Amino acid sequence: MLWRKLMQIFIYFTALFAFVFLAALLVRVLRKKGKNSLQYLLILYIIAVMGWIFFLFFEDASRRLGNLQAAWILERGKCFFITLVPIWILFMSHAFAQDGKYLTKLAYLVMADPVITQFGLWTDNRFHLYYSSLFVRGRAIGLFSAAHIMIFFTVMAVALVYLVLFMRKASKELHFQALLLIVCTALPVFVNILFIANT
């Protein structure tokens, strides 16, 4: 019980630090003049992560205060931003690996994940497409939930491949930045794997 409490405190402080750091980074990027497409993608990515953290905190606070209706709504907001994070990572990693070239139109199909996930969450009471009576390792899972998990891991795997390609062709001065991007991209994947394995 004590270990779980300490872990929760660690997660809260880490999330708070990440939020403050990203807010400062966002202000710095927004103040730059003549922004390129990669900087706009970075802005969208930062907003997505900050939105994820913001909704996560307020969802948890609502649950602790016993306001389950507000927590239910805030969870949908959190899930919206969660589905955007891998998309912006994919677009940024592709831009790095392909010298700023845009993804093909087919790749934009990953933008359907936020729409499908939100539809599944908001209509689950009626259609049972996100949470259902099917249990995997003690966790209720539906068709849309399974699709979201598969899309998340596929998109993140492709993004990691792009980042490795970028690191291989980048100059030695950029190796540290490329390695940092790979670690920051692999971390959410690792956390999600642990979360799924423990539930």
pLDDT at 174 over 90: no
Please say whether the beta carbons of 138 and 197 come within 8 A: no
Token pair belonging to 165: 């390609």
Q: Measured at the alpha carbon of residue 82, what is the angle toward residues 76 and 83, in degrees to the nearest 5?
A: 95
Q: Which residues are CB-contacts of 160 (< 8 A; sequence separation ≥ 6)?
A: 93, 182, 185, 186, 189
Give the torsion through C-alpha atoms of 186, 112, 51, 187, to 10 deg.
Answer: -10
pTM for the whole thing?
Answer: 0.81
Segment among 87-101, 152-166, 178-192 with least mean pLDDT: 178-192
CA atoms of 110 and 150, how far apart (whole Å) = 11
Q: What is the pLDDT of residues 11-30, one digit of tens each?
A: 778 778 888 888 888 898 89
Q: Are strands 135-136 and 139-140 parallel, antiparallel or unpaired?
A: antiparallel
Proportion of the chain above pLDDT 90, given as a percent: 16
The DSSP letter of residue 128 is -
Q: Which token pair is 8? A: 């929760």
